[in-house]
Structure 1
Amino acid sequence: MNGPLDGGRGPGGPEDMPGAAPRIPGPRAAGDDLSPPDVLPSPPPEPLAHGVLKSLLGAWALAACSTEETAAVEEHLTGCAPCAEEALRLRDAVGLLHTDRDLDLDPLLRSRVLENCLGRRPPRIPVPAWAGAYDAETARLDALLRDIGDSEWHAPVRLKWFDGEAKVSRRTTVAGVIGHLMSVDGLVASALGLGDPAGPDAPASPAERTERLWSSGERPATRSVRVPWREQGHALVRTVSFAGLGVEQLSVSYGDFALPLQDAMLDRAFECWVHADDIAAAVDYPYEPPAGAHLHRMIDLAARLLPAALAARRRAGLAGPARHLVTAGSPGRSLHLEVEGAGGGHWYIALDSPAAVGDPERTVAQIALDGVEFCQLVAGHVPPADAAAGQDGDREAVRDVLFAAASLSRL
C-alpha cells in the first residue's frame, strides 16, 4: 500500500518520478518576523448624547451600568451640574434600599421641621407678639406628645420648684403634667370668658387647682388628656388674636397675685416649656430651649417680677433689709443682671423698693448667667447658691436676688 506513510510516493504524482525530492514542508518564519497586516485603527466611540447619559443615572446609582457606560456617565457628571445633583440624590435614595440600614428618622428632624414651619408660615390672622411664645411652646409640646407611645403616658415625672427656703418636688406622670398645665391655663381661659376645665367653683391658686385635679377620680390616665389640653390652647390663641387692641391689659388672677394678660400668656409659655422639658427627660426625648426672641421675653418677665418677689421675701424675713428707700418711679440701688446667650440682655433690678426704677448709675452688684440657666433658676430647678456663673459687688444683694428668682417658681 502506497501513501504518505511509505515516503509520500503515490502513483501518478511527481513523487513517483525517478530522482524526485521527498514531500516535506519547508521551514516557517517566526511569528514576530511576519509583517503586521494592513488593518486600519478602530474609530473612537461616538460620545453619548446628554439625554442618553441622563437616562443612565438611575442605573449608575444602582451600579448596573457597563464599564463603558459608567465611565461615560462619570465623565459627564464632572461637567454637568444638574445631572451631578440628580446623581447624588439618586445615590442617596439607593442607600435607603439597603435592608441593613436603620430607617428611623433623626429624632431632631421633627422639631427642626416644626421650628421652620412656625417661623415661615404666615398666618391669616396674626397672633399678637406677646402670645407668640405660648403658641410656639404649646405646639412644640404637642409634637412631643404625638411622638410618645401609650405606655409612656404613665412614665413618672418629678416636678420641682422652690418653696421660698428649699427645693421641693412632687411625683406625677406625663398625663398628670398635661392635666396640671390644662388646669392652670384655665385661669387665662376664665379671664377671657372661655370655659374653665376645673369648673366654675375652682380655686384661683395654681397649686390648689392642680391638687384638686390630681385628687379627683377624673384625672385622665392616658393620652386622652392631650385633646382637651390642645383644644384649650388653640382657643386661647384664637381668642386673643381676634380680641383686638387693649386685651393684653386684661387682669388674670392667680389667687394671691395677678398679671396682665400679656404677662400671663408669657408665664404659661414659660411653664409649658419647663414641663415639656420635664416630660422629655422622663421619656428620653430630645428637646431644645425656646427660640431666642421668645426666651428673651420670658427672661424679661422674670426680671420685671424680681423687685416684687424680693420685697415679699423681705416682709417674710427671708431677705436683708432695704437700705435706701426712694419714692415710686425714682432710681434706686440696683443689681445688674447680665444674661448671656440666646435671648439674653441686660436688666437692672431695683433692690430696695418694688416701685423704684433700676439704674445703671446706682449699681452695687452684678450677676452673670446663661439664659437657659437663669430660666432653670426661675423654675426652681437650680439651687440659688449654684446658679450664677459670675458674681460681683454686694454679696447680700447677690444672694437676695438669686433666692428671689428661685422663689418665682411654683407647682
Structure 2
Amino acid sequence: MSGSPDRSGPRPGDDVPPDPPRIPEQRFPAEHGEGGLPDGAVRDGAQPDAAQPGAAQPGAAQSDSPQPDSPQPDSVRPEAAGPDEALSPAVPPAVPSSAPSSVPPAASSAALPHSVLKSLLGAWALAACSPQESVSVEEHLGVCGVCAEEALRLREAVGLLHPAEPLDLDPALRMRLLGRALERRPPRIPLPRWAQPYDAEAARLDALLQDIRPAEWHVPVELRWYEEELRTTTSSTTVAGVLTRLLSADNLVARALGLPEAGTDQADEDQDSGAGPGGGKQPSGRAIRRVWREQSHEVVRTVAFAGGGSGRLPVPYGRPVFAGREALPLCDAMVERAFACWVHAVDIADAVEYPYEPPAPRHLHAMIDLAARQLPAAVDARRRAGRGGPARPVGVGSPGRSLRLEVEGAGGGQWLIPLDSPHATGSAAHEVAHLALDGVEFCRLAAGRVAPREAVAGEHGDRDAVHEVLCAASRLAAGG
C-alpha cells in the first residue's frame, strides 16, 4: 500500500542507498567473483535460493582491497539452515536470458501440458510428429497410463488403415493376362475349352510346389474321405506322396492319348531324398515334381494338337470313379483331373499352412457341372447297394421325381437331378425337393472332404430325397 514501508527487504530493481550494499539483479557463476552473503539476507526473504549449497554467491559490493578469508555464513550451510529455509523448496539459480538452454523446450514432456501431449497422440500414431514432439510424447507415455492405452489403440487403428498385402500374386491374374492376350491374338493351336481347367489348375499347383522347402516335402498329410453318415476312409502320406498319387492318375489320361507313362523311377535322387518304407532312398519331392510337371505339359500339348474332337475318346480308369463309372470320355476326364489337382493342392496347402484360393469361376462351374451330371448314377448305385429308398419305375427318357440342386456363388447354377433312374430326365413339374449349397462346399462334399451331415446346405421339401442326394454326392470321388 502507498505510504507503508516495505519490510520484505531489498528486491531487484528497487532504488536503495548504496550503503548497505544491495544484492545485484542477476546472478553470475562463481568465476565472476567471490563474495560473501551479508548476514540476514536469506532470513529477510530477499533471495531464498541463495541458500543453495555449493553455489558461489556474488558479493553485493566488492571493495577494491582484498578481504581476508572468512568462514561461510551459517545461513548458506545446509546443516545450519534455519527452520524457515527447511520448509521452503530450493529454487535453482536463475540462468541469464542470453545463455543457451541445455534442454530444448519440446525435448521433455514436462515442457508441454498434458492436454497438448494428449492432442499429439493421433499425430504420433501416424508418425507425423516432429522429432522433438515425438520425444515429448514418448516420455509422457512412460508415466501416464491413460495416454499409453490411448496410444496403443491409435497404433492398432493405424494398422487397420494399412492392411498387410500378401506377397503372392492374385490367383486370377494369370487367367486375366492370358484372356487379354488371347483376345488380341488367338492361339495358333487353341486348347479345347474342356481342357482349360486342367491347364490352369496344374499351373497353380506347380506354383505352390515351387515355393515348398525341401523339408516340407516330407510333411505328413492325412487324406480322409467321408462316405454315408459314419464311414470314414483315411490314408496317411506326405506332400511328395500326394503328388505321386496325382502322377499315377494322370498316367491314365496319358495312356489314352498314346503317351508313355511317367513314374517315380524316372525321378533322380538328390540331397533331399527321403527314406522309403524299407529304409532305401526314394526320389525327392522336387524330382517327382519335375516328372509330374513334364507329364502335365505333354498331356496339354497333345490335347491341343488333337483338337476338340478328341474329347469323345474314352479314358478307362480300371476302378470305379465318379459314381462307380470305370471310364469317362476325355473331355470329362480332363475336368476330373483338374478337380483332383485343386482338391489335392488344398490338401498340400493345409499341410504346409499355406493359403490356396478356389479355381476361376468358369473352371469351377465345369467341375460342379461334371459332379451334378454324375449324381443320378450315384443315387442309383447307392440304392442298389441297399442304402437308398425304393425307386419308382420310370421309362428311359421319361420325366420322374426330381430334386432341384442350386449351387450358389461364383461358378454356380441350377440342375434338376432325377431320383428314380439315371436314365430318366429331370422335370420341374415333378420336383419334390430343393437343395442349395455354396459352390466350394458342394465341391468339398463331392471330393469326400466333408461329411453329408456336416455340409452347410439349405433344403426344402422331401427330406429323404435331400438326404439321398447328399450321401450320393459324398461318394462321387471316393478314394480319389
* TMscore range, shorter length: 0.5 to 0.7
Whole-Å Cα distance in 1 between the matches of residues 331 and 278 of structure 2? Answer: 31
In 2, the alpha carbon distance for the partners of 1:217 and 1:270 equals 33
Counterpart CA distance in 2 for 1:143 and 1:182 is 16
Query: In the alignment, what sits opposite 1:383?
Result: 451
Q: Does the residue aligned with 1:331 lie in a helix, a strand or coil?
A: coil
**273 and 214 in structure 1: CA distance in 2 versus 1, 3 angstrom threshold:** farther
**Structure 2 residue corresponding to 1:141, chosen from 205, 224, 235:** 205
Q: Relative contact order (C-alpha < 8 Å, sep 6+): which is higher?
A: 1
Alignment check: 8 A CA contact 1:108 1:286 kept: no
**Structure 2 residue aligned with 1:189, among 241, 245, 254?**
254
Change in CA separation of 1:370 and 1:215 when aligned onto 2, cut-off 3 Å: farther
Q: Is the 8 A contact 1:114 1:140 kept in 2?
A: no
Q: CA 1:288/1:119 → structure 2, altered by over 3 Å: closer, same or farther?
A: farther
- Contact 1:280–1:286 (CA under 8 A) maintained in structure 2: yes
CA RMSD of aligned residues (A): 2.2
Q: Does 1:279 align with 2:348?
A: yes
Structure 2 match to 1:109:
169
Is the CA contact 1:366–1:391 (under 8 Å) kept in the aligned structure 2?
yes
| Runs (5+) with no aligned partner, structure 2 | 1-163, 265-275, 321-325
**Do residues 227 (structure 1) and 290 (structure 2) align?**
yes
Determine helix, strand or coil for the equivalent of 2:403. Answer: strand
Deviation readout 1:172-216 (Å, 9 max, x if unpaired): 1111111100100111111111112359xxxxxxxxxxxxx9999
Q: 1:335 to 1:174 in 2, by over 3 A?
A: same
Amino acid at match of 1:294: H
Q: Deviations over 1:89-125 (max 9, x none)?
A: xxxxxxxxxxxxxxx9833326354344344343432
**C-alpha distance in 2, partners of 1:365/1:334?**
7
Q: In structure 2, how many angstroms separate the alpha carbons of the residues matched to 1:321 and 1:125?
A: 50
Distance 1:121 1:161 in 2: 40
Matches within 5 A, 1:131-170: 131-163=195-227, 166-170=231-235
Letter in 2 for 1:320: G
Indicate if the aligned counterparts of 1:250 and 1:260 stay in contact, CA closer than 8 A: yes
Which amino acid letter does the alignment assign opposite residue 312 of structure 1?
A
Instruction: Report deviation, 1:171.
Output: 1.3
Distance 1:223 1:396, change over 3 A: same
Greater share of helix residues, 1 or 2?
Answer: 1
1:272-317: CA deviation from partner (whole Å, max 9, x where unpaired)? 0000011111112121000000000100000000010111111111
2:172 aligned with 1:172, yes or no? no
Q: Within 5 Å, give how 1:20-31 maps onto structure 2.
A: none
Aligned to 1:264: 333
Larger Rg: 2
Moved more, 127-136 or 256-265: 256-265
| Counterparts in 2 of 1:364 and 1:403: CA distance versus 1, 3 Å | same
- Structure 1 residues 307, 394: CA separation in 2 closer, same or farther (over 3 Å shift)? same
Q: 1:156 to 1:377 in 2, by over 3 A?
A: same
1:157, 1:303 → 2: CA distance?
Answer: 28
Change (3 A) 1:216 1:332: farther
Verify the 8 A CA contact 1:162 1:409 in the aligned structure 2: no
TM-score by length of 2: 0.58
Instruction: Verify the 8 A CA contact 1:179 1:220 in the aligned structure 2.
Output: no
Contact 1:332 1:362 in 2 (8 A): yes
Q: Which residue of 2 aligns with 1:366?
A: 434
Q: Contact 1:179/1:219 (CA < 8 Å) preserved in 2?
A: no
The answer to which of 263-272 and 324-333 deviates more is 324-333
Give deviations 1:130-155, integer Å, cap 9, x for gaps. Answer: 00000000000001111111111111
Residue 106 of structure 2 corresponds to none
Letter in 2 for 1:247: S
Structure 1 unaligned regions, length at least 5:
1-103, 200-212
Superposition TM-score, scaled by structure 1 size:
0.68
Distance change (3 Å), C-alpha of 1:117 and 1:175: farther
Q: Secondary structure at the match of 1:111?
A: coil
Contact 1:337 1:346 in 2 (8 A): yes
